Amino acid sequence: MLLTATDSYALSGAVMAFATRAVLTGSVPPGVHLAAEVLDAEAAAATLRDDPLVGELTVS
């Protein structure tokens, strides 16, 4: 995966917002988890592609 962004701190915030939405909608089970284990990778990639902070997102 290649991801370029204009601001790494803001990008971290965008990922946190995505994770928070997943928790609030019930997509993530209760407890402590690693994001890579419980978040929908395709949905995360689609969300990041649409974010104005992301210059490029390539998954191969």
- What would the pLDDT profile of 9-52 be if each residue is shown by its tens digit? 888 888 899 999 999 999 999 999 999 899 998 899 899 888 88
Whether the predicted pLDDT of 5 surpasses 90: no
CA 38, 19, 22, 51 dihedral sign is negative
For the entire predicted model, the pTM comes to 0.79
**Band of pLDDT at residue 59, cut at 50, 70 and 90:** confident
Tokens coding 8? 């790494």
Q: Cα–Cα–Cα angle for 55, 56, 60, nearest 5°?
A: 170
Model pLDDT, residue 20: 94
Of 7, 20, 1, nearest in space to 54 by CA = 7
Model pLDDT, residue 56: 82
Alpha helices in the chain (DSSP H): 8-24, 35-38, 41-50
